[in-house]
Amino acid sequence: GDSVTQMEGPVTLSEEAFLTINCTYTATGYPSLFWYVQYPGEGLQLLLKATKADDKGSNKGFEATYRKETTSFHLEKGSVQVSDSAVYFCALHPPHGNKLVFGAGTILRVKS
Protein backbone atom coordinates (compact mmCIF):
# COMPACT_ATOMS: atom_id res chain seq x y z
CA GLY A 1 0.00 0.00 0.00
CA ASP A 2 0.90 3.68 -0.05
CA SER A 3 3.42 4.85 2.53
CA VAL A 4 5.63 7.77 3.51
CA THR A 5 9.02 7.50 5.20
CA GLN A 6 10.65 10.47 6.88
CA MET A 7 14.05 10.83 8.42
CA GLU A 8 14.03 10.22 12.13
CA GLY A 9 14.47 13.09 14.51
CA PRO A 10 14.98 15.03 16.45
CA VAL A 11 17.01 17.23 14.15
CA THR A 12 18.90 19.86 16.13
CA LEU A 13 20.39 22.84 14.30
CA SER A 14 21.86 26.18 15.16
CA GLU A 15 20.13 29.32 13.94
CA GLU A 16 20.92 30.17 10.30
CA ALA A 17 21.96 26.59 9.50
CA PHE A 18 20.76 24.79 6.37
CA LEU A 19 17.89 22.36 6.86
CA THR A 20 17.07 19.18 4.99
CA ILE A 21 14.38 16.76 6.13
CA ASN A 22 14.22 13.71 3.91
CA CYS A 23 10.93 12.25 2.75
CA THR A 24 10.41 9.32 0.40
CA TYR A 25 7.19 7.71 -0.62
CA THR A 26 5.69 4.57 -2.09
CA ALA A 27 2.52 4.98 -4.09
CA THR A 28 0.69 3.74 -7.14
CA GLY A 29 0.47 6.37 -9.82
CA TYR A 30 1.22 10.02 -9.18
CA PRO A 31 0.16 11.22 -5.76
CA SER A 32 0.03 14.81 -4.58
CA LEU A 33 2.67 15.53 -1.95
CA PHE A 34 2.49 17.80 1.08
CA TRP A 35 4.50 19.11 3.97
CA TYR A 36 2.61 20.08 7.10
CA VAL A 37 4.06 21.79 10.17
CA GLN A 38 2.83 21.48 13.75
CA TYR A 39 4.07 24.13 16.16
CA PRO A 40 4.01 23.29 19.88
CA GLY A 41 0.50 23.09 21.21
CA GLU A 42 -1.14 23.69 17.83
CA GLY A 43 -2.81 21.78 15.01
CA LEU A 44 -1.31 21.05 11.60
CA GLN A 45 -0.72 23.83 9.12
CA LEU A 46 -0.17 23.24 5.44
CA LEU A 47 3.37 24.39 4.66
CA LEU A 48 3.64 23.56 0.96
CA LYS A 49 2.46 21.15 -1.70
CA ALA A 50 3.30 19.78 -5.13
CA THR A 51 0.93 17.95 -7.40
CA LYS A 52 3.08 16.63 -10.22
CA ALA A 53 6.62 15.57 -11.04
CA ASP A 54 9.25 18.34 -10.98
CA ASP A 55 6.85 20.77 -9.28
CA LYS A 56 8.49 22.82 -6.55
CA GLY A 57 6.39 23.86 -3.59
CA SER A 58 7.60 26.81 -1.54
CA ASN A 59 6.44 28.87 1.42
CA LYS A 60 8.08 30.90 4.21
CA GLY A 61 11.56 30.12 2.87
CA PHE A 62 10.90 26.37 2.81
CA GLU A 63 10.86 24.45 -0.45
CA ALA A 64 10.50 20.89 -1.68
CA THR A 65 10.67 19.42 -5.18
CA TYR A 66 8.57 16.47 -6.35
CA ARG A 67 11.13 13.95 -7.64
CA LYS A 68 9.40 11.10 -9.38
CA GLU A 69 12.60 9.27 -10.30
CA THR A 70 13.69 9.02 -6.66
CA THR A 71 10.12 9.08 -5.21
CA SER A 72 11.21 11.85 -2.88
CA PHE A 73 9.96 15.20 -1.59
CA HIS A 74 12.73 16.48 0.67
CA LEU A 75 12.08 19.66 2.65
CA GLU A 76 14.80 22.32 2.62
CA LYS A 77 15.40 25.76 4.06
CA GLY A 78 18.51 27.80 3.58
CA SER A 79 18.62 29.47 6.99
CA VAL A 80 16.51 28.24 9.88
CA GLN A 81 15.26 30.36 12.75
CA VAL A 82 14.38 29.46 16.32
CA SER A 83 10.73 30.03 15.38
CA ASP A 84 10.96 27.12 12.90
CA SER A 85 11.17 24.67 15.81
CA ALA A 86 8.23 22.35 15.25
CA VAL A 87 7.24 18.90 14.04
CA TYR A 88 7.21 18.48 10.26
CA PHE A 89 5.01 15.89 8.57
CA CYS A 90 5.37 14.70 5.01
CA ALA A 91 2.16 13.33 3.48
CA LEU A 92 0.76 12.06 0.21
CA HIS A 93 -2.70 12.01 -1.28
CA PRO A 94 -3.09 9.05 -3.63
CA PRO A 95 -4.55 9.76 -7.07
CA HIS A 96 -7.46 7.37 -6.57
CA GLY A 97 -8.19 7.62 -2.90
CA ASN A 98 -9.64 9.91 -0.27
CA LYS A 99 -7.18 9.53 2.57
CA LEU A 100 -3.96 11.35 3.33
CA VAL A 101 -1.05 9.08 4.18
CA PHE A 102 1.30 10.61 6.75
CA GLY A 103 4.90 10.03 7.64
CA ALA A 104 5.90 9.64 11.28
CA GLY A 105 6.90 13.29 11.64
CA THR A 106 10.31 14.85 12.26
CA ILE A 107 11.01 17.06 15.25
CA LEU A 108 13.14 20.10 14.43
CA ARG A 109 14.85 22.00 17.21
CA VAL A 110 16.67 25.21 16.38
CA LYS A 111 19.04 26.69 18.96
CA SER A 112 19.97 30.36 19.16
Partner 1 sequence: SAVISQKPSRDICQRGTSLTIQCQVDSQVTMMFWYRQQPGQSLTLIATANQGSEATYESGFVIDKFPISRPNLTFSTLTVSNMSPEDSSIYLCSARGSTDTQYFGPGTRLTVL
Quick check: 96 binds partner 1 (CB under 8 A)?
no
Q: How far is CA 39 from the centre of its chain?
A: 14
Q: Is 7 a binder of partner 1 (CB under 8 A)?
A: no
Per CB under 8 A, the list member of 25, 36, 62, 66 interacting with partner 1 is: 36
29 secondary structure, DSSP code: S
Cα(61)–Cα(59) distance, integer angstroms: 5
Q: Which stretch binds partner 1 (CB under 8 A): 12-20, 35-43, 58-66, 69-77?
A: 35-43
Which chain residues interact with partner 1 by CB under 8 A? 32, 34, 36, 42-46, 49, 51, 89, 93, 98-100, 102-105
